[in-house]
Chain A
Amino acid sequence: MSHSLRAKAWLLWLLIGPGILVMLGENDGPSMLSYAATGAKFGIGFFLPFVALTFAMALVVQEMTVRLGAATHRGHAELIFERFGPFWGWFSMIDLGIGNFLTLITEFIAVRAGLGFFGVPAWAAILIALGILYSALMSHRYWTWERVTLAAAAFNLIFIPVALMTHPHWGAVGHAFVTWKPLPHLTQDTVLIVLSNIGATVTPWMLFFQQSATVDKGLTTKDIRFGRIDTLLGALLAAAAALGTIVATAPLFAHQMNAASFEAAQFAQALEPVIGRWGAALFALGMVEAGVVASITISTSSAYAFGEVARKPHSLNLPVNQGKSFYAVLGLCAAAAAGIVLIPGLPLVFVVLVVNVVAVLAMPPALVFLYLLVNDKQIMGEVESPRMANFVAGAVVVVLTAAGVLYGLSVVAPQALAWLASR
């Protein structure tokens, strides 16, 4: 390897992080459960290329946050507050706060369910997850935190070997990508899965997290190219894990397993006759990893946003005594979400079902702010959005809103959906 190539590879290694973390972080508990339910309910078909498309949408949107962070050196919440005023700033924060907290609860549900496969009691599973989360913060260095979390996030790829263990029908996989078929019937369940899969890849916390992490890492406009590579790598890795999960649970479709419960441990147990005890254990461990990594990134996203709007110090580089409110928000959010999961009789499935859908519904307003900011010549300078990126971002807003309306229609007027399906 030549000296300059080695130097570039080293620079890339130093600069990657936020993009891979945000993409693998979004392959979280409810997302992986959503992909697992997709495979079990619909098998190999329309949803494979559809999920790949959602990652392409996420890539376009997340690249914008890299440019925003590098050009303005401000987090997303901070920038909305400063540029559009506290009124709209608080609206964004409320969306983010509710979404993040609900999602955090589901991460702990995933950890509890995944470790439950191995017979670990719920309280111990929650303590393990909190222990890992707090350990990642101990270094008080963004760099160390990022590398530890990246190492944990790499475990998300475990779903790929699990998929291979099911001996997938590669012809059917190729056919699905080329033709987008077989198409599912247009029912309320299908609409819920469509929304759930979109919410599994494109969510508001990702915008806030990647922009803040880009700032915390110290990326400048000179580094945007590496930020793009980082985001692309993250999207490819996360898409591979997501598609792997759909393929892994596709054999359950053949056996007509009822996937309505969305419980991780049940998926692992149901897969045991197909991929054996080891394969099922890997699947359950993958769910645990998804929950743990996302609980780290999502609670950090909340703490960044709180620090930005409350104008308190907010960085993973701060020692505890200088970043008390930052670490307090991070730690308390995680502890409260973890505590809720332990409440006896709480309808955990209720929360899991709702979370991804809520993320999709909250996304269009967040995207409009992102669109306004990346097209703001005054703050973006030379790195304002190109026309093509604007077109794609606009299309994403339309698709997300239309998906939300279709979902609303399926709930409020199911007969209208049946009429649409019959056309």
Chain B
Amino acid sequence: MGEEQHIAGPEEARWILSTLERDQLVKEKAAPVPRRQLGAGELFVLWALRVYVVFMMAVVFWQAWTATR
């Protein structure tokens, strides 16, 4: 007890770091990712794709419905 501990070398340092890796990940995750505002162009693309998805889904279900009847 009370005896000073030394890290023997880079191998041991790496081992200690890798042992603590889980805790480091938890610590990094605790910091929130800041919110980013989407630009006008990005919003346009996202809304255009949203309309595309909704319209195409309707087409798919209509086709599948008529095909199975």
Contact = CB atoms under 8 A, between A and B. Distances in A.
Contacts of A347: 68
Contacts of A241: none
B46 interface: yes
A83 B60 contact: no
Contacts of B33: 72, 74, 79, 82-83, 379
A358 B57 contact: yes
Contacts of A134: none
B56 A365 contact: no
B6 interface: no
Interface stretch (A25-33, A45-53, A335-343, A348-356): A348-356
B24 to A, nearest CB: 8
Interface in B1-25: 21-22, 25
A74 B56 contact: no
A95 B63 CA distance: 20
A84 B25 contact: no
B64 interface: yes
A354 B64 CA distance: 7
Contacts of A220: 21, 25
B5 to A, nearest CB: 26
A401 B38 contact: no
B38 to A, nearest CB: 6
A218 B21 contact: yes
B61 A354 contact: yes
Given A84-B38, A361-B60, A404-B56, A368 B21 contact: no
Contact of A95 (B28, B29, B53, B60): B53
A368 B34 contact: no
B interface residue count range (under 10 / 10 to 19 / 20 to 34 / 35 or more): 20 to 34
A1 interface: no
Contact of B25 (A73, A350, A353, A357): A73
B22 A218 contact: yes
A404 B21 contact: no
Given A349-B68, A354-B61, A73 B52 contact: no
Contacts of A354: 60-61, 64
B21 A361 contact: no
A73 B30 CA distance: 10
A347 B59 CA distance: 18
Contact of A353 (B21, B50, B62, B67): B67
A83 B36 contact: yes
Given A353-B64, A358-B60, A368 B32 contact: no
A79 B32 CA distance: 10
A362 B37 CA distance: 23
A218 B25 contact: yes
A84 B53 CA distance: 20
Interface in A112-166: none
Given A73-B29, A218-B25, A404 B52 contact: yes
Given A73-B28, A372-B42, A82 B59 contact: no
A220 B29 CA distance: 12
A411 B62 contact: yes
Interface string A391-408: 000000000010010011
Contacts of B29: 73-74
B46 A365 contact: yes
Contacts of A376: 36
A13 interface: no
Point out which of B29, B50, B52, B53 has the most chain A C-beta atoms below 10 A from its C-beta: B53
A95 B46 CA distance: 13
Contact of A361 (B34, B36, B57, B68): B57
Interface string A406-422: 01100110000000000
B40 interface: no
Given A220-B25, A358-B60, A411-B59, A83 B52 contact: no
Contacts of A218: 21-22, 25
Interface string A67-100: 0000011100001001111001001000100000
Interface of A: 72-74, 79, 82-85, 88, 91, 95, 218, 220, 347, 349-350, 353-354, 357-358, 361-362, 364-365, 368, 372, 376, 378-379, 401, 404, 407-408, 411-412
13 contacts: A73-B25, A82-B35, A88-B46, A350-B65, A350-B68, A353-B67, A354-B60, A361-B52, A361-B56, A361-B57, A378-B34, A379-B33, A411-B63
- Closest A-B pairs by Cβ, 8 of them: A82-B33, A350-B68, A365-B49, A361-B56, A411-B63, A347-B68, A354-B64, A73-B29
